Amino acid sequence: MSTSFEIKSAQLPLVALLLKTPDLSQVVADLKQQFGPDSDSPDFFDNDALVLDFSPLGTMPDAAQLPALLEGLKNCRLKPIALRQASADITAAALASGLVEAPRELPRHKPAQQIKKPEQAVSETVREVVKEVLREVPGPATLVIDKPLRSGQKIYARGADLVVLAMVNMGAEVVADGNIHVYAPLRGKAMAGASGNTSARIFSLCLEPELISIAGVYRTSENPLPKDIQGQPAQVRLSTDGQEKLLFEALKP
């Protein structure tokens, strides 16, 4: 994977390009090598909206390099629409090119168990919830797909879990704000916790993904999975040590 940039899921339907070098010509070259028309993944993106993130840089690039970067992104089927934490001259050049300035950071939602409240308030809330449950017990929102997903198809379970009962082929994309369950081979892209839910998980009876992502932390097929995980029943989750690493675990029968 390139060291000149990193692509992460932002708040859908956006992805973010985190620049790691002020040499934008190097970024363009790496993008072309990985996702350009002559690369092994020319259809990896499908005109996805993108935010240029300059926050990792200590030294800002020359604004004169920006047009070449924007053109390179378009050649990789990415649509740059915004930027954040850039220098004044780069921001001015971007605005002149039709981009907008994005907020400094897109907030992630913390899992409910990580939110601490005063003990008295929690007690009162629990009593109120019990009264509500006696009247109605709503089930969790779930979107169920029972047909195979072909290359180019995208499914987004907004505010819900996603259950797929058939194959997710290469080039297809499944996205959910909650968990993703694929009871068949998963060979396309899968992004769980799309709105920032770090406790979301991905399950598949045959894990062979092009890209796997939870709350913006991702891994592509360029980094092969372990032999006991590739093509096997497995689950994917984020580590709980604060390092935001994807953990792959085999599912035992």
E-only strand ranges, 68-207: 78-84, 100-101, 142-145, 154-157, 161-164, 173-176, 180-186, 189-192, 202-207
Strand partners, 168: 149, 186
Mean pLDDT (the chain) is 82
Burial class (CB in 10 A: 0-12, 13-18, 19+), 121: exposed
% residues pLDDT > 70 (the chain): 79
**CB-based contacts of 152: which residues, under 8 Å, 6+ apart?**
43, 46, 171, 172
Query: What pLDDT, on the 0 to 100 scale, is given for residue 18?
Result: 85
Task: Tell me the per-residue pLDDT of 17-61, one tens digit each, with 9 for 90 and over.
Answer: 888 899 999 999 988 888 888 887 787 777 888 888 898 888 999
Domains in the chain: ranges and CATH: 5-101 (3.30.70.260), 142-250 (2.160.20.70)
Mean pLDDT in residue range 185-189: 95
Task: Report the pLDDT value the prediction gives residue 140, as an integer from 0 to 100.
Answer: 55
d(CA 165, CA 142): 13
Whether 223 and 16 have beta carbons less than 8 Å apart is answered as: no
% residues pLDDT > 90 (the chain): 46
pLDDT of 9 above 60: no
Q: Do residues 65 and 96 make contact, with C-beta atoms less than 8 angstroms apart? A: no
Band of residue 194 on the pLDDT scale cut at 50, 70, 90? confident
Q: What is the pLDDT of residues 163-174, one digit of tens each?
A: 999 999 999 999
Residue with tokens 């924007």: 70
Give the gyration radius of the chain's Cα atoms: 20
Which residue did the predictor score with more confidence, 154 or 139?
154
Q: What is the per-residue pLDDT for 122?
A: 46
Tens digit of each residue's pLDDT (9 = 90 or more) over 51-95: 888 988 889 999 999 999 999 999 998 888 888 889 999 999 999
